[in-house]
Amino acid sequence: MPQLLLELFSEEIPARMQAQAAKDLERMAREHLAAAGFLPEALTTFAGPRRLTLVAEGLPLAQADRKEELKGPRVGAPPQAMEGFLRKTGLTQDQLVERDGVYMAFIEKKGRPTAEIVAEMVEAIVRGFPWPKSMIWGYKKLRWVRPLKRILCVLDREVVPFSIEGIESGDVTEGHRFMGEAKPFVAKDFDEYAAGLEKHFVVLDVEERKQRILEGCKTLCFARHLEMVEDQGLLDEVAGLAEWPTPVLGDMDPSFLDLPPEVIRTSMRTHQKYFAVKKPGEPGLAPHFITIANIEAADGGKVIAAGNAKVLSARLSDARFFWDEDRKAGNFDAWLKKLDGVTFHAKLGTMAQRVERIVALAGEIAPLVGADVAKAKEAARLAKADLASGMVGEFPELQGLMGGYYAREAGLDPEIAAAIQDHYKPQGPSDAVPTAPLAIAVALADKLDTLVGFFAIDEKPTGSKDPYALRRAALGVIRIVLENGLRVSLAQFGKEDLIAFFADRLKVTLRDQGKRHDLVDAVFALGDDDLARIVARVQALDGFLKTDDGKNLLAGYKRASNILKAEEKKGPLPTGEMQAPTADSDAEVGLYNALRLLDKPLKETLAKEDFTGAMTQLAELRGPVDAYLDGVFVNEPEHRDNRLRTLAAVRDAMGQVADFGLIAG
């Protein structure tokens, strides 16, 4: 079957945009091909520093003839409706077919050559590509992330002819900008294309580029008895900066090692895209770095390493200046005064006012997590001070961390310094949570102030938009509470909308662990806002519903609940407690006795928060409930009221554990 090869060749594409660009190219191509009735056997995309590539296997050379069926106006509809439908279809009324009082049009469409469809598809993709940022250049009106230079488009080894803003399609591309012959070459299918790129020093696949970087770095480090400090985010970025990535090991001035290692790594990573290195088994960093060049230098990279070392020295000299200035006595007080002039949010006041709120919250939370109240307030008061420091001004990602360093340099209580350092944690799913009581108190206060404040001014996340990172803050609270086994009631910090927001975030957390979101709904319906208890209930419920007893009891609950709902529509349900059955029915007596025997033990088990035990006790109802529903006529007039009370008692007993009515299945 014919193969389609497409390459959009441009000036450098920002590394941060490449992964999404590959996904968007695949999505848009699939949508256009599907609309034309094509289902490729395979469709793969690649993204790199200067090119987006797509290869689709198994496309026909022409579209099959198609018969479209269009639904028109009803018989007797106004003439204007019929006229509009006829204009749309290009038919006359006598060519329409009446079906069930509606006019139908059947239109024969002859299949078009695939090349024509591909040409239209590529132009639509290029003109409508969703780059986060794009530009125009020269006299062209076309927008692209960077100036678009070439379009290679071949189908079944033949060029698909078209032109977009003067850029003619062809079967020519080019390799590395500097290495090799550095001139265009012809590629009529993917095998020729991939081989040609490799020959011209271009690694097409980003995963292959990453592997090349890792292997090169490890080889360099092994030769010098060093070890690369792994950094997945940096690896992802540098793999998008070089078409022929070549690691080069350089040396830095050892005198800079007296700076905090985080400062050195941040300076390397943020400004220079270098990997840090260390000596195996030793703390701290080694006086070396690895840069990823885009060429294989004749001298093995010596000149590249020397030049990069000079640039790094200049960067670290700036960092040393900030480090020395920030450690001067009295800086904390000066920084706190500066926060008076820093606006946190127009509706939420200054950063200094935010600090006051965090201090108050930390004081409330401290007793709940076993922290000293006075220390918690002091740590909260100083936690944001480093925002006014020189180092954090240069490297915002070091906020909190530098505050901890400066607190230790100022001789403050080590617990307070540690709380300042850790209060932003966790900042992502891979980040550790604070575990010291003082750090927990300040971290929770910081995140809860953010959540409560923005919810109060109705700045809640909408859709994919979350400009104030409230989802991350909520997930941070959840992780801190759960991973530290804290017993905190969220109701004392937020209103119903915020509690519901936490429920949604908890669903995400538990779903990532393989738990069902409807189980979270079933537990939250009880009105419990203790996260640890909610998770314990969900875990017990999840295990219970995976057993036969659990599945069957859930089915019985739904049957009982449906009967009660149906009767409730007829009028109010009978009130009061169920009574001993008067009818001669073993099933009725059995369920009555089972419910009476279950009542006290279930309450005691739930009071001990033994939710797994409670599920085991509920399992004892399975047989009596099944027998009751299968053998008792609930609506028998003489016994109806008491039998409905009995079903309500089943619902109420199970409702002490979760709202089973919200569980799917």
Together in a domain, 154 and 98: no
Letter string b/e over residues 118-153, b meaning 16 or more CB atoms within 10 A of that residue's CB: bbebbbebbeebebeeeeeeeeeebbbbeebebbbb
pLDDT per residue as tens digits for the range 259-292? 999 999 999 998 899 999 999 988 899 999 999 9
Per DSSP, the three-state class of 279 is coil
The CA-to-CA distance between both ends of the chain, in Å, stands at 45
Structure confidence at residue 510 as a pLDDT band (50, 70, 90): confident
Taking 90 as the threshold, does the pLDDT of residue 572 lie above it?
Answer: no
Together in a domain, 654 and 602: yes
Boundary-marking domain end, from 306, 325, 344: 325
Characterize the bridge pairing of strands 288-293 and 246-251: antiparallel
530 compared with 469, residue with greater pLDDT: 469
Together in a domain, 603 and 458: no
Written in H, E and C, the secondary structure of 101-135 is CEEEEEEEECCCEHHHHHHHHHHHHHHHCCCCCCE
Q: Which of 113-122, 372-381, 531-540 has the lowest mean pLDDT?
A: 531-540
CA 6 to chain centre: 30
Please say whether the beta carbons of 281 and 227 come within 8 A. Answer: no
Query: Which residue pairs from 20-29 have beta carbons closer than 8 angstroms and sit at least 24 positions apart in sequence?
Result: 21/47, 21/52, 21/129, 21/131, 21/145, 22/46, 22/47, 22/52, 24/129, 24/130, 25/52, 25/54, 25/125, 25/129, 26/54, 28/124, 28/125, 28/128, 28/129, 29/54, 29/56, 29/121, 29/125
- For residue 165, what are the CA distances in angstroms to 119, 120, 123, 133, 150? 14, 14, 10, 19, 11
Residue 309: its pLDDT value, please?
95
pLDDT per residue as tens digits for the range 615-628? 999 888 889 988 98
CA angle 382, 388, 394 (to 5 degrees): 125
Together in a domain, 405 and 459: yes
Q: What is the CATH number of the domain that holds 582?
A: 1.10.730
Together in a domain, 86 and 141: no
Letter string b/e over residues 374-406, b meaning 16 or more CB atoms within 10 A of that residue's CB: ebbbbbbbbbbbbbbbbbbebbeebbbbbbbbb
Taking 80 as the threshold, does the pLDDT of residue 490 lie above it?
Answer: no
Together in a domain, 530 and 572: no
Sort 101 into a burial class: Cβ within 10 Å, 0-12 / 13-18 / 19+: exposed
| pTM of the entire predicted model | 0.78
Q: Which has the closest alpha carbon to 556: 620, 615, 626, 614?
A: 626
Q: What is the mean pLDDT of residues 219-239?
A: 94
Total count of domains within the chain: 5
Residue 398: its pLDDT value, please?
94
Average pLDDT, the chain: 91
Together in a domain, 55 and 71: no
- Give the best-scoring range by mean pLDDT among 65-79, 475-489, 558-572: 475-489
What DSSP character marks residue 608? T
pLDDT per residue as tens digits for the range 583-620? 778 888 898 899 999 989 999 999 999 999 999 998 88
570 compared with 353, residue with greater pLDDT: 353
Please state, for a pLDDT cut of 70, what percent of the chain lies above it: 100
Angle, nearest 10°, between helix axes 373-382 and 414-422? 50
Angle, nearest 10°, between helix axes 401-409 and 331-338? 140
| Rg (alpha carbons) of the chain, rounded to whole number | 34
Residue 526: its pLDDT value, please?
86
Residue 578: its pLDDT value, please?
86
Residue 185: its pLDDT value, please?
94
Residue 104: its pLDDT value, please?
86
Taking 90 as the threshold, does the pLDDT of residue 453 lie above it?
Answer: yes
Per DSSP, the three-state class of 173 is strand
Within 10 A of 284 (CB to CB), how many other CB atoms are there? 10
- Whether residue 283 is preceded by a cis peptide bond, meaning omega within 30 degrees of 0, is no
Q: What is the mean pLDDT of residues 139-150?
A: 92
Q: Which has the closest alpha carbon to 547: 602, 620, 605?
A: 620
Together in a domain, 15 and 52: yes
Instruction: Compute the distance between CA of residue 195 and CA of residue 192 in angstroms, rounded to an integer.
Output: 5
Q: What is the mean pLDDT of residues 6-22?
A: 96
Q: What is the mean pLDDT of residues 153-169?
A: 95
Q: What is the mean pLDDT of residues 175-181?
A: 86
Residue 55: its pLDDT value, please?
98
> Dihedrals φ, ψ of 183, to 5°?
-135, 160
Residue 47: its pLDDT value, please?
97
Per DSSP, the three-state class of 5 is strand
Boundary-marking domain end, from 302, 325, 348: 325
Per DSSP, the three-state class of 278 is strand
Boundary-marking domain end, from 109, 140, 165: 109
List strands edge to edge, sheet with 275-278: 227-228, 275-278, 288-293, 246-251
Together in a domain, 582 and 490: no
Residue 637: its pLDDT value, please?
85
Please say whether the beta carbons of 367 and 381 come within 8 A. Answer: no
Please count the CA atoms within 13 angstroms of the CA of 529 that sit on its side-chain side. Answer: 16
Instruction: Compute the distance between CA of residue 664 and CA of residue 282 in angstroms, rounded to an integer.
Output: 53
Together in a domain, 151 and 193: yes
Instruction: Compute the distance between CA of residue 291 and CA of residue 305 in angstroms, rounded to an integer.
Output: 8
Together in a domain, 176 and 196: yes
Q: Which of 113-117, 178-182, 403-407, 409-413 has the lowest mean pLDDT?
A: 178-182
Structure confidence at residue 244 as a pLDDT band (50, 70, 90): very high
Residue 198: its pLDDT value, please?
94
Together in a domain, 143 and 165: yes
Taking 90 as the threshold, does the pLDDT of residue 32 lie above it?
Answer: yes
Instruction: Compute the distance between CA of residue 204 and CA of residue 56 in angstroms, rounded to an integer.
Output: 16
Within 10 A of 494 (CB to CB), how many other CB atoms are there? 19
**What is the span of the domain harbouring residue 254?**
206-325
Residue 403: its pLDDT value, please?
96
